[in-house]
Structure 1
Amino acid sequence: MTADQWLIPPLLDSIPPSILAKADVLVTKASFLAGLLAPETAACLSRQLKVSDAEYSRIIDGHNTDLAVLEDANNLASTQSTLAEITELRRRLIAALAHHYHLVQTQPLSDGNGAVARLIVHIHFAQIGLHPQLWSLSRGVARRQEEYHAALGRTGGTQERLLAGGFQRTDQASLTFIEFMLDVCHEEVDYMTAALNRRKLRESVTNAFNTNSRLIEAGIRAEIAPAFLALLIQGALSRPEFKTFTGLQPEAASNQVGRLINIGLVVSPPSDVSLLEVGLPIWFAHEILPGLHMTR
């Protein structure tokens, strides 16, 4: 990419109130989602989403993007792409999506710029405080990829060239894309928030401890569910606290802790074996986040 392509395009002079309102609400929703998760649980979730994002990008773009390209883009974006000059938060959000549109419009599709542009948006969203590591923009785009490509002016996997030697897109086309992407963002934040609210989380964990074949085969007792739920919500507990939550006798509780560690659902940091932290292997993530991954 050239230096000019990293520049964030000027904001449109007139942004419809409906788009500004969607941007406002998204900021509030993302903050609420972040408040649901302890740091340790958020870190586990972020790792799972990073893995799923790579697969969703392949679905969206039809190919795997070279990791070196993404790394270069990440390094350049971190130093050259900034929204700091835009003081209003909701307009920063809109500018981030406009930048995505600009990047894809100014580069050939074959260069993998869809994945690069989404990476740049992720960086912008992190700067804004939208906690993009806790929800997946790529998942939302993949679920609505035909609309995504249409909003970018792609037909049959190719970019629509309107003028020889370049692209010409109207302000209305840019606004249509931005509004579509805002809708996708709302859907994904809503999905994560609904799955991680306390009542739903309790239902999902209880069901998993009663029916999941891995847990049953590992000898994990169903009555351990409330203790694990407490760990999932708090992120970390001391071993004595966790054992107390199980309601079991000390020897039985220790046995169950060992089994949970063996299957990766609980982690004991080498630096502090008296502490237990939540683990979130992919098979269990499916229990609390149904539909997180999709295949084609």
Structure 2
Amino acid sequence: MPSMYTSPFSMSPLLPRQGTPQMEALSEKASALIYSSYQQHCPQGIAEILREALRPMNSYYTNKIEGQHTTPLLIAQAMSKDFSAKPDEAQKQRAALACMQAEVWAEGTIGSPGILPAGGLYFGSEFICSLHHAMYQHLSMEDRMAHGVHQDGSAWDEEVVPGQLRKHDVQVGLHIPPSKDYLPAFMDEFHNGYRFELRGERAVIAILAAHHRLAWIHPFGDGNGRTIRLHTHSGLHALGLTKGIWSPMRGLARSHARYNEVLARADLPREGDQDGRGNLSEKHFIQFIDFMLDTCLDQVSFMNQMLEMTGFEERLHKMLMAESVSPETPNLLKLNSLLPLKYLLHAGQMPKQDFKAMLGGDSDRTQSRVIKDLTTLGILKSESLHAPYKLAFPIKLFRYLFPGLWVEAESGQ
């Protein structure tokens, strides 16, 4: 293996130069992303439910990029603590749950105040290592084993300690990340290079630029890609852009080949005097950031279509009609079940007696049957005997309510 990087200058530039036409174009796209995200409207009854419903999808896609994904059905089963008897599948199920739990921790820790934390905490080694820890702490020692090859060609196996920087020098494809002994210096330079980019277009560009540079450093023995994508996700969340209803993970998985291509090209050295002033190519770095901006804009646009209320209510009605022919839920349309469900879209919750009243009809028995079928279907839930009713969006209903959002879940596998 060729010699490792030892000087933090090797990963320069950390940001494209200001004042160039290319940087101005990136700023315009970042501004468009901020504007379109802030204009995005999600009814009160959907927002929190959708945030939780999309976590398994985000987990599925970030693991798919790594080639370590299981099926949406097996993720749903794992969420109910039903694990496959096949060791490989069960391991993937546990990895899926770990990514979901880490996302909850990351969003809760960094919040969504519309600005990145003061002092550059978001770009600091401590927070990045904490993201890795939040994911890997949920995995067994067996699930945390990593494998690689030393410079002399001999193999190594090592337990990946949650939140700990790697203890081996590695090669990732054609890229040779910094030597393990110099990782703290590279992480310090990474922090110093981005720490003042806290709000607005510059923060958005810094978050996306940092995605590549953190991948270039490759700080951990395993889980780098998933940790880096979670870092990007949590940064956009902190700026108040995602609101829990979109994530770049879906877009990156859907453009997996292009994602890998622009990541790899941004590793290239500077190509002549017109290609910036750092060690790495500014031209390819800008192309990577531009790709990331396009990916985010595409996800915002897609979710805007999904959340258009007239269309959503029509899909809700079609779902009830389609599932009313099932022997498990034959009573869905015996009363006006659509009306209270539409109310819940906007109100978020409703006392049980009010829900029954809105169903109509004069038979308590029929009302109870309709409610039983709605809960069997999974669209309606209550946390206790006296708790109000709320909506739920289980994975199996995505094909009706959010067609095209999670294509792999629509087959029911």
TM interval, short-chain normalised: 0.7 to 0.9
What is the CA deviation profile of residues 253-286 of structure 1, one whole-angstrom value per residue up to 9, with x for unaligned ones? 333223322433211232x725111111111232
* Alignment match of 2:27 (pick from 15, 20, 24): 20
Counterpart in 2 of 1:127? 238
Question: For the structure 1 residues 295 and 262, does the alpha-carbon distance in structure 2 shift closer, same or farther, using more than 3 Å as the test?
Answer: closer
More helix by share: 1
Q: 1:138 to 1:241 in 2, by over 3 A?
A: same
**Structure 1 281/257 Cα, relative in aligned 2: closer, same or farther at 3 Å?**
same
**C-alpha displacement of 1:125:** 0.8
Q: How does 1:224-235 map to 2 (within 5 A)?
A: 224-235=337-348
Match for 1:36: what amino acid?
Answer: C
**Could you tell me how far 1:241 is from its partner in structure 2?**
3.0
Q: Which amino acid aligns with 2:212?
A: Y
Computing the radius of gyration from Cα coordinates, the structure with the larger value is 2
CA–CA separation in structure 2 for the residues paired with 1:86 and 1:49: 28
Paired amino acid for 1:229: K
1:169 maps to 2:280:
yes
Contact 1:125 1:132 survives alignment (8 Å):
no
Partner of 1:221: 332
CA distance in 2, matches of 1:24, 1:57: 26
Shift in Å, 1:145:
0.9
Q: Which moved more, 1:44-53 or 1:106-115?
A: 106-115
Check 1:133–1:214 CA distance in 2 against 1; reply closer, same or farther (3 A cut): farther
Q: For 1:185-200, what aligned pairs fall within 5 Å after superposition?
A: 185-200=296-311
What residue is the counterpart of 2:3 in the other structure?
Answer: none
Structure 1: give runs of 5+ residues left out of the alignment. none
Where does residue 122 of structure 2 map in the other structure? 81
Q: Return closer, same or farther for 1:214/1:233 CA change in 2, 3 Å cut-off.
A: farther
What corresponds to 2:46 in structure 1?
41
Percent of aligned positions that are identical: 23
Partner of 1:59: 64
- Displacement of 1:143 in angstroms is 0.8
The 2-side partners of 1:160 and 1:291 are apart by 33
Counterpart position of 1:242? 355
- Cα shift at 1:136: 2.7
Q: Unpaired runs of 5+ in structure 2?
A: 1-7, 70-91, 111-116, 124-193, 271-277
Query: Structure 2: which amino acid aligns with 1:221?
Result: L
> Under a length normalisation based on structure 1, what TM-score does the superposition of the two structures give?
0.80
Count of residues in Structure 1 that have an aligned counterpart in Structure 2 = 278
What's 2:190 paired with? none
Q: Distance in 2 between matches of 1:138 and 1:170?
A: 25
RMSD: 3.5
**Pair 1:205-2:325 in alignment:** no
Residue of structure 1 equivalent to 2:171: none
Q: Which residue of 1 aligns with 2:371?
A: 257
Contact 1:208 1:287 in 2 (8 A): yes
Residue in structure 1 matching 2:291, options 175, 180, 186:
180
Aligned equivalent of 1:101: 212
SS at match of 1:201: helix
Q: Distance in 2 between matches of 1:291 and 1:281?
A: 15
In the TM superposition, what whole-angstrom CA distance separates every residue of 1:63-83 from its partner, at most 9, and x where no partner exists?
A: 369649x959959x9593257
Which SS does the other structure have where 1:187 is aligned?
helix
Identify the residue that residue 114 of structure 2 maps to in structure 1.
none
Which residue of 1 is the match for residue 256 of structure 2? 145
- Deviation at residue 52 of structure 1 after TM alignment: 1.2
Q: CA 1:236–1:86 in 2, change beyond 3 Å: closer, same or farther? A: same
- The alpha-carbon distance between structure 1 residues 18 and 108, as it changes in their structure 2 partners (threshold 3 A), is same
Q: Note the 1:3-18 alignment, pairs <5 A.
A: 9-10=14-15, 12-14=17-19, 16-18=23-25
Asked whether 1:284 is paired with 2:284, we answer no
Q: When the two structures are superposed, what TM-score results if normalisation uses the length of structure 2? A: 0.59
Q: AA paired with 1:177?
A: F
- Deviations 1:11-45, CA, capped at 9 Å, x for gaps: 63235333222212222222333x3231x532221
